[in-house]
A and B are shown apart, each in its own frame.
Chain A
Amino acid sequence: MSSEIIADKKLVKFKWNDQVIEAPEGENLLQAALDNGIEVAHYCYHKGLPIAGVCRMCMVEQTPGPPRPFPSCNAIVAPEIAVRSDTPAVLEAVEWTLQFHLVNHPLDCPVCDQAGECGLQDYYMQHGQYNSAMEDQKVHKKKVQDIGRGVMLDAERCILCTRCTRFTEYVTGTYELGIVGRGDHAEITVHKELENDYAGNLVDICPVGALTSKDFRFKQRVWFLEDVATTCIGCETGCAVNISQNEVGVYRVLPKYDHEVNGHWICDDGRSIYKHVSGAGRLIGPLENKSNLFIPITESATANSLRGNSQKFILSASLTNEDYANFFSAFKGEKDHVALYRLPSMGKEFDGILKRSDKNANTRGAREAFAKAGMDHSETGLQDFLDNLNAQDVIYLVVPEIIYDEDHFMTLLKKINKAGKKVALTTTDNLQALDAFDYLLPLPTFLEKDGHLKNFQNRDRKLSAGRSYGASNRDIAFYANWLN
């Protein structure tokens, strides 16, 4: 691939402008600069994709080296070279190459979602700011194309950096995207709808608004959003993500580069894990089921009606390590009064890129915590637990935040029907199945609490709390012993 850091190459020193940089010998020159915090204009280069060298923006001059500016993405680090990105020749090359990019680019900024994080806008402010000499008719290409998997293609905005074609060629191996035509009539297009599970990444890698997210389309301007660095709870991989939100709501999930777990990408399932956080139905307090209508009720009133019976818990396998630890230290009931519900496996055990079949975010953390507390976390344990339910029990069920298989969940609900009182510990009431419960008590979503999850590599993956959109002050540990 392009620029994996070659572990056994020796580090050498070289100069970039007036800065001395140390990097492995033979490493990609542009990557070495970017790793050291130097800003170099580039569009087609991406660390996770093979080198294309087509945008011609990353120009530098090097001594000793070629006689004129050349792209740094096609060069390597050598000892004692002096690289300059601030000479007049380089600056003129960058300005004119940018001008060539903009010659046929449509003036779509008001309607384009990329505004605020657009490569053309950013470099124009840094390296452009010229009076455009282009007075002719621009080339027109096909706009507003829905190419599947939630991706919109606008061929006119495309700067033909080929990041997307390289992605479908080398990362997913599905080859949906390609370039047809020649010269300035060349156009990015698909020969069939996108059908891979990582199409959302195409939107991220596109430096301009040619590939945009249908889900995010027109919802918000990116400068009104703030990012929270957290972890995806879609499966046991635990990819690092940045989730964009503001006081109005949560808008999108973007991958965060993580060398050990997910690299540059996340799967498409992870793109929709935010919807329940600020969506309709977030609980702001306890709710009581009165003939299938949920009415707000106070905590104390709920507590009063539940007191006196044996409190039994079914926990989900997507809570944080801290949640489990705090729960078990607070829980004072019998050992067989707690069980673990795990969402069923779905799909291939590992799809070869990122997705895994275990859809529980913290299976390992849950099992470890259960074992430490001497509780039974097995599937048979859960079945025994369900068989032993009777009318004297109050059953608290932690409703998983994301349920892929509703049938499996419904089976569980049928089995807890024989309990006397059924309480759902849930983040939202937006689920039909919740009509079976007598009370709904609020829990914070994964985006409203700090904590850690153990992923498939047994690494601790961090959850960070962002804004709160519902009742998020009561965690599972609170309910462990709240009636006493």
Chain B
Amino acid sequence: MTQDASSANYKDYTLLSYHHISDVHKLDIFSKAGGYETMKKCFAMGPETIKEEVKGSGLRGRGGAGFPTGVKWGFFSKDRTQKKYLVCNADESEPGTFKDRYLVEKCPHLLIEGMIISAWALGVDKGYIYIRGEFYHQAKILEEAIQEAYSAGYLGHNICGQDFKFDLYVHRGAGAYICGEETGLLSSLEGKKGQPKLKPPFPAIKGYRGYPTMINNVESLAAIPWIMRFGAPAYKKWGTEKSAGTKLFSISGDVKKPGVIEVPLGIPLREIIEDYCGGVKGGNLKAVIPGGSSAPILTAAESMLATMDYEDIAARGSMLGSGAIIVLNDTRSMGEVLKWTLEFYHHESCGQCTPCREGTGWLDKIFKRAENGHGQASDIDLLDKVAANMRGRTICALADAAAMPTQGMIKAFRGELLTFIEGQGQEERGRKR
């Protein structure tokens, strides 16, 4: 945990407000610290009030897409008698991201409280937390917390004496990146292969088993209690005009103090690396991946100018995504970075639609061939062309997630990639002699 505990005022945190309290994953400790109070107050407000507040806060989806949560909630049917579902996307498979794990591990009740408030606002009586299969311990913690919530009367029938019931279940995945995509998640939840569905129809209209389903990220749902407690204007005070609030960033790589921090959006990336993470380790800064492996890489120069909000990063040709910051020093080979990226997406493509299935495999093969010493300069252009033609033509965004970092790497470090290919070639020819 990198946040400097002594200097921080925990009232300033929206998501990590309870994380300094030991054993706050237990319901009694959480309640003593003020947990679930907001939920009780929310039952007095109407569902529309809650939705307005969330919309007014400017909260954007924290899973990676950055779509305004209040607007997404607005698409949802208001009919409270209709069968609807609320799903929390805790799949967190984007390489470099570990913030949801941190949230769920330390303070699962915050997520549960957020989900109960959301379910009340949306008129939903069943919720699922889809957690990635590798998070075995975290799933157990969640299940225990849910049990505690049931015992306290916060889940199940007649919650807090209201005519409102909400059942919450934990569903574990089985190790597929594609199940973090919302319709892939729904397919997996339905018991089928985790293959994304065609959109339209969108999950808010036709989701889990054909019923309207609202899917939100862990961080988005965990922000709801704070927003409802202190109000939308207070939330909007943090961050920038278009990117309101605070965000959890998971920083890893060549920094002295890697970990999860919560900072307002709009903070300069330089500040995160130098102040919060103690600076670059083992060398000088070479490149930063700002939003998980799907985000195009930023050079050191760009990183020093970037501010961590959705607009600025997008303007630099990358994306804020899940807020997974990977810092690379000058001992790192960009060729190696690209190699692992391509291998990852090749492995994770679900294989349903042709451009992604064949494209991810092709990209991986081209670069593996180059890595084995049989590449040539024109392969860089080939990678770029194949990546460009995968984008925008597939059922889900995995193809874009594979293509964007490829094109980004080529744009930012073409020279180094060329040297890498030629160097590998020389090495191979040297080996043969």
Residues of A at the B interface (CB closer than 8 Å) are 51, 53-56, 59, 68-69, 74, 92-93, 96-97, 99-101, 103-104, 133-137, 139, 159-160, 179, 181-186
Contact = CB atoms under 8 A, between A and B. Distances in A.
B354 A104 contact: no
A186 B357 contact: yes
Interface in B300-332: none
A184 B361 CA distance: 6
A93 B353 CA distance: 14
A183 B354 contact: no
Nearest to A96: B389
Contact of A59 (B200, B349, B393, B395): B393
Interface of B: 176, 193, 198, 200, 346-355, 357-362, 365-366, 369, 382, 385-386, 389-390, 392-395
Nearest to A186: B351
Secondary structure at the A interface, as helix, strand, loop or mixed, is loop
A133 B365 contact: no
Contacts of A92: 389
Given A53-B198, A56-B355, A160-B354, A183 B347 contact: yes
A184 B346 contact: yes
A179 B194 CA distance: 12
A100 B395 contact: no
Which 9 A-B residue pairs are closest in the complex by CB-CB distance? A186-B351, A184-B361, A96-B389, A183-B349, A100-B358, A136-B365, A53-B198, A103-B358, A183-B351
Nearest to B385: A133
A406 B101 CA distance: 72
Contact of A136 (B352, B360, B369): B369
B365 A101 contact: no
Nearest to B355: A100
A186 B361 CA distance: 12
Given A55-B353, A59-B393, A182-B351, A139 B361 contact: yes
Nearest to B350: A182
Contacts of B193: 179
Contacts of B352: 54, 160
B351 A181 contact: yes
Given A133-B385, A182-B349, A186-B357, 18 more contacts: A54-B353, A55-B354, A56-B354, A56-B393, A59-B393, A93-B393, A97-B355, A100-B389, A104-B361, A135-B369, A136-B369, A160-B351, A160-B357, A182-B350, A183-B360, A184-B361, A185-B351, A186-B351
Contacts of A51: 198
Nearest to B201: A74
Contact of A183 (B198, B357, B395): B357
Q: What secondary structure prevails in chain B residues at the interface with A?
A: helix
A59 B389 CA distance: 14
B393 A183 contact: no
Given A53-B198, A97-B393, A184-B349, A136 B366 contact: yes
A34 to B, nearest CB: 19
B334 to A, nearest CB: 22
B200 to A, nearest CB: 7
A54 B350 CA distance: 11
A160 B353 CA distance: 8
Given A104-B361, A133-B382, A136-B365, A56 B353 contact: yes
Contact of B354 (A68, A100, A136): A100
A184 B418 CA distance: 27
Contact of B200 (A74, A96, A101): A74
Contacts of A133: 382, 385-386
Contacts of A135: 369
Contact of A184 (B351, B366, B382): B351
A134 B359 CA distance: 11
A255 B390 CA distance: 37
A68 B360 contact: no
Contacts of A139: 361
Given A136-B362, A186-B357, A74 B198 contact: yes
A60 B350 CA distance: 24
Contacts of B386: 133
A101 B394 contact: no
A99 B354 CA distance: 10
A188 to B, nearest CB: 11
A351 to B, nearest CB: 28
B406 to A, nearest CB: 15
A97 B349 contact: no
17 contacts: A53-B353, A53-B395, A54-B354, A56-B394, A93-B393, A97-B354, A97-B355, A100-B355, A100-B359, A133-B382, A135-B369, A136-B366, A160-B354, A179-B193, A183-B361, A184-B360, A184-B361
B273 to A, nearest CB: 35
Q: Give the interface centre of B350, B352, B386, B390 by most chain A CB atoms within 10 Å.
A: B352
Nearest to A99: B389
Contacts of A93: 393
A74 B202 CA distance: 12
B352 to A, nearest CB: 5
Nearest to B351: A186
Contacts of A53: 198, 353, 395
A70 to B, nearest CB: 9
Contacts of A54: 352-354, 395
A159 B198 contact: no
A104 B346 CA distance: 14
Contacts of B358: 100-101, 103-104, 184
B165 to A, nearest CB: 35
Nearest to B361: A184
Contacts of B392: 68-69
**Chain B CB within 10 A, most for which of A74, A97, A181:** A97
Contacts of A181: 351
A159 B358 CA distance: 10
Contacts of A136: 362, 365-366, 369
Contacts of B200: 74
Contacts of A137: 365
Contacts of A68: 392
Given A51-B198, A93-B393, A184-B346, A103 B353 contact: no
Given A74-B198, A74-B200, A137-B365, A179 B351 contact: yes
A185 to B, nearest CB: 8
B346 A183 contact: yes
A134 B362 contact: yes
Contacts of B348: 182-183
Contacts of A186: 351, 357
A185 B351 CA distance: 8
B328 to A, nearest CB: 27
A51 B199 CA distance: 12
A91 to B, nearest CB: 12
Contacts of A97: 354-355, 393
A54 B353 CA distance: 4
- Taking each of B200, B346, B353, B386, which has the highest tally of chain A beta carbons within 10 Å of its own beta carbon? B353
Given A74-B200, A183-B357, A69 B393 contact: yes
Nearest to B382: A133
A140 to B, nearest CB: 13
Contacts of B351: 160, 179, 181-186
Contacts of A104: 358, 361
B229 to A, nearest CB: 39
Interface centre among B357, B359, B382, B390, by most chain A C-beta atoms within 10 angstroms, is B357
B361 A101 contact: no
Q: Which has the most chain A C-beta neighbours within 10 Å: B348, B365, B386?
A: B365
Nearest to A95: B389
Nearest to B391: A68
Find the residue from B198, B358, B359 having the highest chain A CB count within 10 A.
B358
Nearest to A73: B198
